A and B are shown apart, each in its own frame.
Chain A
Amino acid sequence: MKLTVEEAEQMYEEPETAEAPKQLDGADVLIETLKKHQVEVVFGYPGGAVLPIYDALHKNPIKHILARHEQGAIHAAEGYARVSGKVGVVIATSGPGATNVVTGIADAMMDSIPLVVFTGQVATTVIGTDAFQEADIIGITQPITKHNYQVKDVVDLPRIINEAFHIASTGRPGPVVVDIPKNMATGMFVVKEDATSEVNLPGYQPTTTPNFLQIQKAAQAITIAKQPLILAGAGVLFAKASEQLAAFAEKYQIPVTNTLLGLGSIEGNHPLFLGMAGMHGTYTANMAIQTCDLLINVGARFDDRLTGNLAHFAPNAKVIHIDIDPAEIGKNVHTEIPIVADAKEALTALLEQNTPNGNTAAWLESLHVNQAQYPLFYEASEERGLLPQQVMELVHEYTNGDAVVTTDVGQHQMWAAQYYKFNQPHNWVTSGGLGTMGFGFPAAIGAQLAKPEAKVVSIVGDAGFQMTLQELSLLQEMRIPVKVIILNNQALGMVRQWQERFHGERYSQSLMPIQPDFVKLAAAYDIKGYKIETYEDAKKQLKEALASDEPVLIDCRVVQKESVFPMVAPGKGLHEMIGVKPE
């Protein structure tokens, strides 16, 4: 049933009430509903179709961050969501505003980041006529959202917003788009005082409590395993289950490895932690996967960058997979013990089983031998110049492992993942599934807004930074004290590395010798900049820069011909790593 605005008004007017009922337009209701959901900050950019919403925001303010590009707004919202654990809220206008957030929506979908994205739309009376700034954002975002809505009747607006927040933040989190035609934002209706924000979604009932029989099976498997291994992914972080993870690993003396997105779910210096696994994981972690007899996946989705060639993956392992999304279980890797649940509930249930420990001493000993024999390494010398790994080690040292670290995508991302050891969870913000260049810097802005007291360091490449550096305006305007550290190799480093290895050193379109002067660029935004060229420089300047309470940009000129190792080449199994030892 489709109502016109007028019909809707009539339907909901209750003339018999003595007091004049509260009349609001759709835009006011939107802002009111956001407040009900305790939204503290929204990231956006105005335009014609959202003028009524911006007008309502002016009258009834919520902190609004005016990014300089909608992509910047949505990545900032993602950074905010990751660090705060809350829903990131974005507003963009119709047409180009909406299409500019598409990359961020896809990124949030891949990495399960809770977002509610409001897009403006042309009025319902002209939808389908190719009206000015009309784009079918519902059609465009349908495969890259957890769910999406177009408001077709203003009375549905509060219900839709409540559902959007519920869907975005529960179960496996993800982005929800709410498309608001302009006449829905201006449409009036009478607010019912008893309006509830409870939702009724019969088709959406995520399972959070584990099946008891499966928990028992898992506990038995853990007791008899000689070489068990935990693979912890971002699901542990979404469930805020880091404590339970550590308790579980310690109780049963099971070593832990992480996916890229799972970093921080266990302390980086924990004696049972083997480092990250996957394409650029540690030798010890990958070999542990290949030799374990029981693989306990908690909240990871067996992505191809983690598994390498599936035909060779974990050949001896029985697999327990704990995931809140049943569709991830058995998708890539055959699973003997599936547990559909919230990671915290499942780990708690496993701990409560209190089954006897298996003896893993010999297994742990063999892993320690690998760790000692095959540590991460790099070959530094004064002649070679500054190495990106050295910069990462210094960043770790000067922030004591307590910083919030965001990255862009490329070599610098892998070095950050390898060398920064997190003391706490929820301090790591990176684009995993989509691998979105341009993500890291705006994400840092959102992260800093979520944790004003934290030291936020954004590790970016010289190329990816140039995709969204317009957001330096936000640091200038709001004095947001993000520390931008460019690992500047004057190259699309990760592309260059693959061309060196797999394309006969033909560096097609991957070297960028001509660059802006990043220090001057920072100055143009009234931000202090440093250029660092040697290790000695790095020690001095990084320390100073990282101690500052102001926004800072640090251009680290690092060796161009440095590759990320160790590495599992594409198509290879995890046991076929290259670059595990100095040559």
Chain B
Amino acid sequence: MKRIITVTVLNQSGVLNRVTGLLMKRQFNIESITVGHTEQPQISKMTFVVNVEDEQKLEQLLKQLQKQVDVLKVNDISEKSIVVRELALVKVVSPPAVRAEINSIVEPFRAATIDTGKNVVTFQVTGNSEKIDAFIDLLKPYGIKELTRTGVTAFVRETQKVHSTQLSILQ
């Protein structure tokens, strides 16, 4: 099962290495990972998308992360109501003849054109991973020349559904 896990860490050198090394050592598959500073200068937040076999493995993952000295907080936010965002840059073959057609396709995705050449155009799109997958699928037939995705970052919403299940770290 796919889980979104946020890890709040002290900004020590090597902390990213520690966390990814731990996941590697324990045979967890990372699908994507994003890292960045938070509002506090000494603290960074990582967002992982991982694939785990079952609840037991998930609990083990959360506990092992929590055990790291530089890790302040671990949250599995998969079941919460969250805002999930990923950004993709997509360079697509776009000769003048089909450009209008392509533009009409990307329009509902609110993608921005950030670079144009004679026969190519580069779009920037943000949203959850499914939206980006759909965007890419639609552009594929025209020929994608280059593609890069940032991986997911996420935020827990202010208002939560009443019954959100979450595994506790201790017990």
Choose from B69, B71, B72, B171 the contact partner of A340 (Cβ within 8 Å): B171
* A152 close to chain B: CB less than 8 A: yes
Determine if B171 and A152 form an interchain contact, defined as CB atoms under 8 angstroms apart.
no
* B17 close to chain A: CB less than 8 A: yes
- Interchain nearest-CB distance for B114 vs A (Å): 35
Determine if A203 and B68 form an interchain contact, defined as CB atoms under 8 angstroms apart.
yes
Please indicate the chain A residues that have their CB under 8 angstroms from the CB of B69 in the complex.
Answer: 146-147, 167, 201, 203-204
* A142 close to chain B: CB less than 8 A: yes
Please indicate the chain A residues that have their CB under 8 angstroms from the CB of B60 in the complex.
Answer: 327, 330-331
Determine if B63 and A326 form an interchain contact, defined as CB atoms under 8 angstroms apart.
yes
Determine if B170 and A203 form an interchain contact, defined as CB atoms under 8 angstroms apart.
no
With A142-B14, A326-B63, A327-B64 known as contacts, the answer to whether A340 contacts B170 (CB < 8 A) is yes
Q: How far is the CA of A167 from the CA of B68 in the complex (A)?
A: 11
Determine if B21 and A142 form an interchain contact, defined as CB atoms under 8 angstroms apart.
yes
Q: How far is the CA of A209 from the CA of B56 in the complex (A)?
A: 24
Determine if B67 and A325 form an interchain contact, defined as CB atoms under 8 angstroms apart.
yes
Please indicate the chain A residues that have their CB under 8 angstroms from the CB of B21 in the complex.
Answer: 142-143
* B30 close to chain A: CB less than 8 A: no
- Interchain nearest-CB distance for B8 vs A (Å): 9
Tell me how many residues of A have a C-beta within 8 Å of chain B. Answer: 25
Q: How far is the CA of A304 from the CA of B170 in the complex (A)?
A: 24
- Interchain nearest-CB distance for B21 vs A (Å): 5
Residue of A nearest to B62 (CB): A327
Determine if A143 and B25 form an interchain contact, defined as CB atoms under 8 angstroms apart.
yes
* B18 close to chain A: CB less than 8 A: yes
**0/1 per residue, B50-73, Cβ < 8 Å to A?**
000000100110011011111110
With A143-B21, A143-B25, A201-B69 known as contacts, the answer to whether A338 contacts B14 (CB < 8 A) is no
Determine if A203 and B13 form an interchain contact, defined as CB atoms under 8 angstroms apart.
no
Within 8 A of B (CB), among A322-356: 325-327, 329-331, 334, 338, 340
Q: How far is the CA of A204 from the CA of B60 in the complex (A)?
A: 18
Q: How far is the CA of A139 from the CA of B25 in the complex (A)?
A: 13
Please indicate the chain A residues that have their CB under 8 angstroms from the CB of B84 in the complex.
Answer: none
Determine if B56 and A203 form an interchain contact, defined as CB atoms under 8 angstroms apart.
no
Determine if A326 and B170 form an interchain contact, defined as CB atoms under 8 angstroms apart.
yes
Q: How far is the CA of A211 from the CA of B10 in the complex (A)?
A: 28
Residue of A nearest to B42 (CB): A202
Please indicate the chain B residues that have their CB under 8 angstroms from the CB of A211 in the complex.
Answer: 171
Please indicate the chain B residues that have their CB under 8 angstroms from the CB of A147 in the complex.
Answer: 69
Residue of A nearest to B72 (CB): A203
Choose from B10, B18, B67, B71 the contact partner of A327 (Cβ within 8 Å): B67
Choose from B13, B67, B171 the contact partner of A214 (Cβ within 8 Å): B171
Please indicate the chain A residues that have their CB under 8 angstroms from the CB of B71 in the complex.
Answer: 203
Looking at A146, A211, A331, the one whose CB has the most chain B CB atoms below 10 A away is A331
Question: How many B residues are at the interface, by size bracket?
Answer: 20 to 34
* B169 close to chain A: CB less than 8 A: yes
**0/1 per residue, A116-147, Cβ < 8 Å to B?**
00000000000000000000001100110011
Determine if B171 and A327 form an interchain contact, defined as CB atoms under 8 angstroms apart.
no
* B22 close to chain A: CB less than 8 A: yes
With A142-B14, A331-B60 known as contacts, the answer to whether A326 contacts B171 (CB < 8 A) is yes
Q: How far is the CA of A146 from the CA of B60 in the complex (A)?
A: 17
Please indicate the chain A residues that have their CB under 8 angstroms from the CB of B17 in the complex.
Answer: 139, 142
Q: How far is the CA of A338 from the CA of B9 in the complex (A)?
A: 27
Please indicate the chain A residues that have their CB under 8 angstroms from the CB of B25 in the complex.
Answer: 143
Residue of B nearest to A144 (CB): B25
Residue of A nearest to B61 (CB): A327
Within 8 A of A (CB), among B152-166: none
- Interchain nearest-CB distance for B73 vs A (Å): 8
Within 8 A of B (CB), among A298-333: 325-327, 329-331
- Interchain nearest-CB distance for B61 vs A (Å): 10
- Interchain nearest-CB distance for A380 vs B (Å): 46
Please indicate the chain A residues that have their CB under 8 angstroms from the CB of B64 in the complex.
Answer: 327
Please indicate the chain A residues that have their CB under 8 angstroms from the CB of B66 in the complex.
Answer: 326-327
Residue of B nearest to A213 (CB): B171
- Interchain nearest-CB distance for A337 vs B (Å): 9
Please indicate the chain B residues that have their CB under 8 angstroms from the CB of A138 in the complex.
Answer: 14
* A207 close to chain B: CB less than 8 A: yes
**0/1 per residue, B27-50, Cβ < 8 Å to A?**
000000000000000000000000
With A203-B69, A203-B70 known as contacts, the answer to whether A152 contacts B13 (CB < 8 A) is yes
Q: How far is the CA of A290 from the CA of B46 in the complex (A)?
A: 44
Residue of A nearest to B10 (CB): A203
Within 8 A of B (CB), among A141-157: 142-143, 146-147, 150, 152
Within 8 A of A (CB), among B61-105: 63-64, 66-72
Q: How far is the CA of A394 from the CA of B56 in the complex (A)?
A: 47
Q: How far is the CA of A152 from the CA of B13 in the complex (A)?
A: 10
Residue of A nearest to B68 (CB): A203
Residue of B nearest to A328 (CB): B63
Determine if A142 and B10 form an interchain contact, defined as CB atoms under 8 angstroms apart.
no
Q: How far is the CA of A334 from the CA of B59 in the complex (A)?
A: 12
Please indicate the chain B residues that have their CB under 8 angstroms from the CB of A214 in the complex.
Answer: 171
- Interchain nearest-CB distance for B101 vs A (Å): 51
Please indicate the chain B residues that have their CB under 8 angstroms from the CB of A329 in the complex.
Answer: 171
- Interchain nearest-CB distance for B127 vs A (Å): 33
Determine if A326 and B22 form an interchain contact, defined as CB atoms under 8 angstroms apart.
no
With A330-B60, A340-B170 known as contacts, the answer to whether A143 contacts B22 (CB < 8 A) is yes
Please indicate the chain A residues that have their CB under 8 angstroms from the CB of B67 in the complex.
Answer: 325-327
Determine if A142 and B18 form an interchain contact, defined as CB atoms under 8 angstroms apart.
yes
Within 8 A of B (CB), among A258-290: none
Q: How far is the CA of A167 from the CA of B71 in the complex (A)?
A: 14
Residue of A nearest to B63 (CB): A327
Determine if A326 and B169 form an interchain contact, defined as CB atoms under 8 angstroms apart.
yes
Residue of B nearest to A172 (CB): B67
Q: How far is the CA of A326 from the CA of B67 in the complex (A)?
A: 9
Within 8 A of B (CB), among A173-222: 201-204, 207, 211, 214
Please indicate the chain A residues that have their CB under 8 angstroms from the CB of B63 in the complex.
Answer: 326-327
Within 8 A of A (CB), among B130-171: 169-171
Q: How far is the CA of A142 from the CA of B17 in the complex (A)?
A: 9
Q: How far is the CA of A327 from the CA of B65 in the complex (A)?
A: 9
**0/1 per residue, A241-268, Cβ < 8 Å to B?**
0000000000000000000000000000
Please indicate the chain B residues that have their CB under 8 angstroms from the CB of A139 in the complex.
Answer: 17
A203-B10, A214-B171, A327-B63 given; name 7 further pairs at CB < 8 Å.
A142-B21, A143-B25, A202-B72, A203-B9, A203-B70, A334-B56, A338-B171
B residues at A contact (CB < 8 Å)? 9-10, 13-14, 17-18, 21-22, 25, 56, 59-60, 63-64, 66-72, 169-171
Q: Which 4 A-B pairs have the closest CB atoms?
A: A327-B63, A147-B69, A204-B69, A203-B72
Can you show 13 pairs from A to B with CB atoms below 8 A apart? A142-B17, A142-B21, A143-B21, A143-B25, A152-B13, A203-B9, A203-B10, A203-B72, A214-B171, A325-B67, A326-B66, A330-B56, A331-B60
